[in-house]
Amino acid sequence: MSWRRAIIADDGTHHLVEGRPLYAARFRAVQKFHEPGLAPVVDDSGAYHIDVTGASAYSARFRQVWGFYEGRAAVESDSGWLHILADGAPLTEHRYAWCGNFQGGRCAVRFSGGLYGHIKADGSLAYEHRHLYAGDFRDGIAVVRYADDGLCGHINESGHPVHVCRYLDLDVFHKGYASARDERGWFHIRLDGMPAYERRFAAVEPFYNGQALAESLQGDRLVVSQRGETVQNVAGRREHSCRRRILLIGNIGAGKSTVGRRLAADLAWPLVTIDDARRSCGDGSAAGEVAAWAYFLKLATMPTNTIVEFSGSGPVAPLLGQHFNRSSDDVLVLWLTVSVATCNQRMAARGLDVPYPDFGVPIKSVVSELHERLEREIGQCRTWAGFPVHPIDGEQSADAVATQALKTVRSWDGYPGGSR
């Protein structure tokens, strides 16, 4: 049977072709098959790749594995991230803090210091520069966020700028145009980096046969031309929502749940937490964790005022951020800042009372890695998904932290009875 026709079974433990199991084995979780006919799986022995018979493609085992792209797969080992070939052999001996997937002979990687760059198909560095972030290449061009000013630009495969323009946010080129954002809003730029028109929007999509969907700054849903002119109003003006969201983010052991309960009691709003979602849907497995994420996202985006508590990073963060950015909800983000040492002390005192997935990584390592990620993603720009972040010193007593959080909420325009 061809692996190209294989799909993942509903329970996520094996693959099907035309409704029939492709092989007899069952796994904790599986991913899709990719060229050369291998699929990532996880079982009690670890993470690895299988062929169409369900047999292991090699003897090595890893913490995490991902699909093959251009003959190379990103994996996480005990010594760090790397790429492997189809026989399980490492592409090089170098290890990274994270690896992406190869696209167009280049791959984004994160170095141990937290900065990003790209490597070539042979594993060597594509260039020497380091960036705050680096995206995938498409047609020989990638987006990077520069370390010197935090702005975004386009680079070629050698790491050189494609143009001199830099923007607050930027997307890859599609048919000669890329979406960009400056202080005035979103718009499209040409290959030379210059704006294709003067108009600005709340959001824009890539052009499709010369036209693109956009949302005006007034909330109108439009189809616009490559000159930024309105071709058609497709949905009328979006009505402003009165929904308000308070996001509590921070490391494990930062005290988010305690603050969340105080806010929920003060506002009489529902409190949605990732740990409650794990208690409802998780079982400590990878599949259970994904189910918990899905349940958490469903509750966090309910059409009502909500207090949402989670780390602020990880797989659900961009999905939640995208939802709130596309909505007209009022969003207040509170970041409980706590040292790694304090988090570890609190975790040691209370332990884990939720079905947190065990991928063989000590909780102290999770806390340390999450601390570094939050500092990198939020600490440098003081925004989360574009929303301003209000840091709160989580090293204080629980009462002091809750008091500071309530004070911040009560000064917010979205607070019931406040200035709104």
Instruction: Classify residue 416: in a domain, yes or no.
Output: no
180 shares a domain with 271? no
pLDDT of residue 237: 53
320 shares a domain with 263? yes
Residue numbers of the domain that contains 395: 244-410
Torsion of CA 234, 168, 74, 9, to 10 degrees: -20
What's the rounded mean pLDDT across residues 325-352? 85
Instruction: Tell the residue number behind the tokens 């600490």, with chain if given.
Output: 379
Instruction: Tell the residue number behind the tokens 């709130």, with chain if given.
Output: 324
388 shares a domain with 340? yes
Residue 282: band (very low, low, confident or very high) from pLDDT cuts 50, 70, 90 = confident
pLDDT of residue 64: 96
Instruction: Classify residue 315: in a domain, yes or no.
Output: yes
Instruction: Classify residue 176: in a domain, yes or no.
Output: yes
What one-character-per-residue DSSP string does 200-244 give?
Answer: -BSEE---BTTEEEEE-TTSEEEEEETTS-EEEEEEEEPPPP--E
Burial 77-116 (b: 16+ CB within 10 A, else e): beeebbbbebebeebeebbbbebbbbbeebbbbbeeebbb
Structure tokens at 392: 């709160």
145 shares a domain with 229? no
pLDDT of residue 418: 40
142 shares a domain with 274? no
pLDDT of residue 351: 64
248 shares a domain with 233? no
Peptide bond between residue 161 and the one before it cis (omega within 30 degrees of 0): no
278 shares a domain with 192? no
89 vs 244, more confident: 89
pLDDT of residue 348: 80
Contact 420, 414 (CB under 8 A): yes
What one-character-per-residue DSSP string does 323-370 give?
Answer: HHHHS--EEEEEEEE--HHHHHHHHHHH---S-----S--HHHHHHHH
The last residue of one of the domains, among 155, 187, 211, is 155
Instruction: Classify residue 59: in a domain, yes or no.
Output: yes
Domain CATH for 179: 2.40.10.480
What proportion of the chain, given as a percentage, has pLDDT over 90?
61
Sheet holding 330-337, edge to edge: 271-273, 306-309, 244-250, 330-337, 387-393, 383-384
Structure tokens at 202: 């709340």
- CA gap 35, 39 in Å, rounded: 9
Instruction: Classify residue 160: in a domain, yes or no.
Output: no
pLDDT of residue 236: 57
Domain CATH for 297: 3.40.50.300
**Residue 357 predicted with pLDDT over 80:** no
Going by C-beta distance under 8 Å and a sequence separation of 6 or more, which residues neighbour residue 263? 246, 248, 269, 271, 307, 402, 405, 406, 409
366 vs 208, more confident: 208
The last residue of one of the domains, among 237, 257, 281, is 237
What one-character-per-residue DSSP string does 378-399 give?
Answer: IITT-EETTEEEEEEETTS-HH
Summarised one tens digit per residue, pLDDT across range 179-199 is 999 888 899 999 999 999 999
Going by C-beta distance under 8 Å and a sequence separation of 6 or more, which residues neighbour residue 167? 151, 152, 153, 180, 181, 182, 189
Burial tier of 334 (Cβ tally within 10 Å: 0-12, 13-18, 19+): buried
Domain CATH for 26: 2.130.10.10
270 shares a domain with 387? yes
10 vs 237, more confident: 10
Please tell me the chain's helix, strand, coil percentages from 3-state DSSP, rounded to the nearest 5: 20, 35, 45
127 vs 345, more confident: 127
Residue 416: band (very low, low, confident or very high) from pLDDT cuts 50, 70, 90 = low
**Residue 244 predicted with pLDDT over 80:** yes
Query: Considering only CA atoms, which of 109, 143, 135 is closest in space to residue 124?
Result: 109
What one-character-per-residue DSSP string does 264-275 give?
Answer: HHHHT--EEEHH
109 shares a domain with 9? yes
- CA gap 241, 236 in Å, rounded: 15
| Domain count for the chain | 3
Structure tokens at 276: 């409650």
Summarised one tens digit per residue, pLDDT across range 103-119 is 999 999 999 999 999 99
254 shares a domain with 229? no
pLDDT of residue 84: 98
Structure tokens at 391: 């840091």
The last residue of one of the domains, among 155, 183, 211, is 155
Instruction: Classify residue 415: in a domain, yes or no.
Output: no
**Residue 408 predicted with pLDDT over 60:** yes
- CA gap 215, 356 in Å, rounded: 40
308 shares a domain with 191? no
315 shares a domain with 211? no
Instruction: Classify residue 420: in a domain, yes or no.
Output: no
Instruction: Classify residue 366: in a domain, yes or no.
Output: yes
Give the up-direction half-sphere exposure of residue 254: CA atoms within 13 A in the CB hemisphere.
Answer: 27
What proportion of the chain, given as a percentage, has pLDDT over 70?
93
Q: Which of 68-82, 248-262, 280-294 has the lowest mean pLDDT?
A: 280-294
